[in-house]
Structure formats: structure tokens, C-alpha cells
Amino acid sequence: MAHDENKPLVLLIDDSVDVHRLLQARLRHEHISLVVAASGSEAVQALKSFRPATILLDLDMPEMDGFELLRVIKEDVSTNNIPVIVLSGLQGSEDKVAAFDLGATDYVTKPFDMAELRARLRAALRMHQLLRLLADRADVDGLTGLGNRAHFDKRLAETISETHRYQRPLALAMLDVDHFKRINDTFGHPAGDEVLQVLAGLLLRQSRQHDVCCRYGGEEFAMIMPGTGPADAVQVAERIRRAVAELAWSRHPETSITISVGIAGSDGHCGPMTATQWIEAADRSLYAAKHAGRDRVVAANLDRLVLGRAG
């Protein structure tokens, strides 16, 4: 089931080899990568491997018919936003109503009018692209351009699941701007906004490619560091802490900005923990950094407790 990753993937689910050949021939000039599945079970496996931009679904299939498969697709949160164009020789209104009630985007009857099918496929692909753009914007913090809290929650849950499955290291850092209220009160909210925007850019530059940087809320940021144990996470956080302390600020050049960082990390042996437990552990470290005088990094190894501090 190889496909061109530079083109939108369209998954054709139909038990007819003749239909596979027909659509592969007639859609070859469309800017898509067509992948075929000959049964519902094969389609389910394909959906675990790929995330198609659109699905072309035949209703009349043995074992798992199209209605049952459509229900599976729309009940799964990872696939329910994928547009589904039903392909069917059934022209009765009851079948169309049932398909639309289950979440179908469109309904095309056999034999195909290829010009019509192409037009409907393009419309479905445009819909998918718009949904992706909306989803991406919904995950972005408007001020800093980093992932927002919703994005953070989603990525942390995914990373924790994978980390526990393969017993890999993981670190979570919570970063807080010291005395941020004083900046807003003394120099105004535009100065505070500048601090958050500059810090966001610095986080992106100083973090590694696989790290996930987000604005957690207010003046607090979060970094998810997959494959990184607590000791290495401390080095990353110290580099960021020093870089922030060295920044010059146009709106208040005489006033430096510092951050405190709390880290929760594991070398892969901490056992199952929820996202809430990870956040609470990192928050405790952040509180310890604030309580110890700010402008420092405190790291808790979830396998054993380790404190690290800036010089």
C-alpha cells in the first residue's frame, strides 16, 4: 500500500477488482495518491497505517458492509473527520438517508459519471484541507505561535502512551517567567507581550527538533522532551535559562528577565503515570525552583529524586 506522501491520500474501499482498475485509470491525472482495500477488515488495517484525506466507500461488500464500516469510521475520534464519499449501486432514498445519517459526506451511484465523481472528490479534498487548517489554528496560541494548552494536552498524552509502551525516557519541563506581573505593572502589557513572544522564539531555537514547545497558560510554558532523561533535560533547561538571562529588552533595557524551570523526568522505569501526574510532578519542581529563589532549574527524577541548580 505504498503511496506518494506529497499528494493527498485517497483510500478506495471496494471488493471489486474491476472498480479498483477503473478508478486507478480514470483518476490517474488527479493530484492524489490512490490506495485500495478490498474488504472492511483490510480497510480497518489501512486506517491504522494511513490517515487518508478522503475515503471512497462501497456499500455492498461481504463480511463488513459499507454501512457497518462507515459507522466504525465515524465512531473513531482519529478518523471521524475524514470525508467519506459513498459509492453504491443502490439508488433508493432510504440507503442515501442511512448513509448521510451515519456521517457520509457525499453519495455517488454506480455506474459512475467520472466527471461528476472527480468534481465530488475534489470538493471532499478541499473540505479535508479546510478542516486541517481549522484544526491547526485551534491548536496554536495566538500571541506566541506555539502550541496552546489543547495542543499540549494532546501531545503529552500521545507521548506518555508511547513512552510507557516502549519504556523510553521522557522529560516534561514547566517554565515560568519570574516576576512577570511586575513587568506588566511597570512597563505595560505590550512589554509583557514582548517578553512572551521573544521567549517563545528562544524556546524554539534552543530546543531540539523532536521537543514540543507550548504556551501552557499566562506566563508559563511547557516543553515535552521525548527520549530525554532528567539529566539531559536539565542541560537543555539550563541552556534556555542562561539564554533568557542574557537577553536585552528594547522596552526595558535596564531590567533583565529570568525564568524558573521545573522538570519531571524518567529514564524509562517509572511505571505507568497519567498526564495529570506528570504535570503535577513538574509543577512541584517548578514550585521548588520558585521557593528556592527563582532563576534556576529543579528536576525530579520519577525513578529517584534529583535536584539540579544553575550556577
Total number of residues shown for the chain: 311
Task: Determine whether 162 is an active site residue.
Answer: no
C-alpha–C-alpha distance, residues 149 and 223, integer Å:
12
User: 3-class secondary structure for 157-224?
Assistant: HHHHHHHHHHCCCEEEEEEEECCHHHHHHHHCHHHHHHHHHHHHHHHHHHCCCCCEEEEEECCEEEEE
CB-CB contact of 39 with 61 (8 Å): yes
Residue type for position 234: V
Distance of CA 40 to CAs 83, 98, 172, Å?
A: 17, 18, 40
CA distances (Å), 152 to each of 103, 106, 160, 165, in order? Answer: 29, 34, 12, 20
Query: What residue has cell string 519541563?
Result: 173
Q: Taking the CA atoms of 5, 6, 12 and 17 in sequence, report the sign of the dihedral they define.
A: negative
Rounded Cα distance between 266 and 166, Å, is 13
Active-site residue among 42, 94, 158, 219? 219
DSSP string, 134-153: HHHHHTB-TTT-SB-HHHHH
Q: Which of 204, 170, 191, 197 is nearest to 272 (CA)?
A: 170
On whether the CB atoms of residues 84 and 67 are closer than 8 A, the answer is no
- Catalytically active residues, by annotation: 219
